[in-house]
Amino acid sequence: MNRRMKKLIFATNNAHKLGEVQALLGDDFELVTLRECGITEDIPETAETLEGNALQKARYVYSKTGLDCFADDTGLEVDALGGAPGVHSARYATDGHDFAANNRLLLKNLEGAQERTARFRTVIALIIDGVEYTFEGRVEGTIATEESGSEGFGYDPLFVPSGEIITFAQMSAEAKNAISHRGRAVAELVKFLKTLS
């Protein structure tokens, strides 16, 4: 059988995310990295919503390459903090992607809080032949009072998904992907991509 793998640029510099999404997409699609298509600069993410940022990143890549591409943006929305860090999740504590500092700040800001409910929300913006589509996935959960686990990245050591007693960082990648915000958004993306082929 000579099935053609469909190439798609995934507009991310986050190697963890690339691995997670390639595993979810399976063999029908080959993800192309930004570096592989010559984009080494930081792509602007200046919108005030996840949807806006995902679209901004995808449009940037499409305008540079003219190739099918998608971008995602994820935020952790903590109810007791009015939805923060939300769209600012990557740069919550510092200007860089300092996961440890972000987690420390989150714990500090929730010190003594009774209500610790939160959700991860991912929005994916896809551009195929110049047409834009968006997909969303979310997972509800709570913020633990201390970090546990060493899998995953970002806020995973603090996030306990609803119905579980362990954090995302204590789960295997497969177990996390099966219920995660990005897993669910990518499932929607894949369902849609399969209708095209």
Residue number with the smallest Cβ distance to ligand ITT = 154
CB of 35 to ligand ITT, least distance (A): 12
Of 69, 70, 73, 118, which lies in the binding site for ligand ITT, with binding defined by CB under 6 A? 73
- 160 touches 142 (CB < 8 A): yes
Q: Under the criterion CB under 6 A, does residue 161 sit at the interface with ligand ITT?
A: no
Q: Identify which range of 1-9, 96-104, 105-113, 125-133 contacts ligand ITT by CB under 6 A.
A: 96-104
Q: Under the criterion CB under 6 A, does residue 142 sit at the interface with ligand ITT?
A: no
Q: Under the criterion CB under 6 A, does residue 13 sit at the interface with ligand ITT?
A: yes
Q: Under the criterion CB under 6 A, does residue 56 sit at the interface with ligand ITT?
A: no
Q: Identify which of residues 2 and 21 has a Cβ nearer to ligand ITT in the complex.
A: 21
> What's the CA angle centered on 181, arms 44 and 52, to 5 degrees?
30
Of 135, 156, 171, 185, which lies in the binding site for ligand ITT, with binding defined by CB under 6 A? 156
**Residue 127 β-bridge partners:** 69, 132
Q: Identify which range of 8-16, 22-30, 127-135, 139-147 contacts ligand ITT by CB under 6 A.
A: 8-16
> How far is the C-alpha of 163 from the C-alpha of 71, rounded, in Å?
29
Q: Identify which of residues 23 and 194 has a Cβ nearer to ligand ITT in the complex.
A: 23
Number of residues that bind ligand ITT (CB under 6 A): 20
Q: What are phi and psi of 79, to 5 degrees?
A: -60, -45
- 64 touches 39 (CB < 8 A): yes
| 73 catalytic residue (yes or no) | yes
* Residue where the block lists tokens 């994820």: 74
Question: Rounded to whole angstroms, what are the CA distances from 108 to 65, 115, 124, 170?
Answer: 43, 14, 30, 22
- 17 touches 185 (CB < 8 A): no
Of the residues 27, 73, 95, 156, only one is catalytic, namely 73
**Residues at the site binding ligand ITT, with contacts judged by CB under 6 A:** 12-14, 17, 72-74, 89-90, 97, 99, 102, 152-156, 168, 180, 182
Hey, which residues are catalytic here? 73
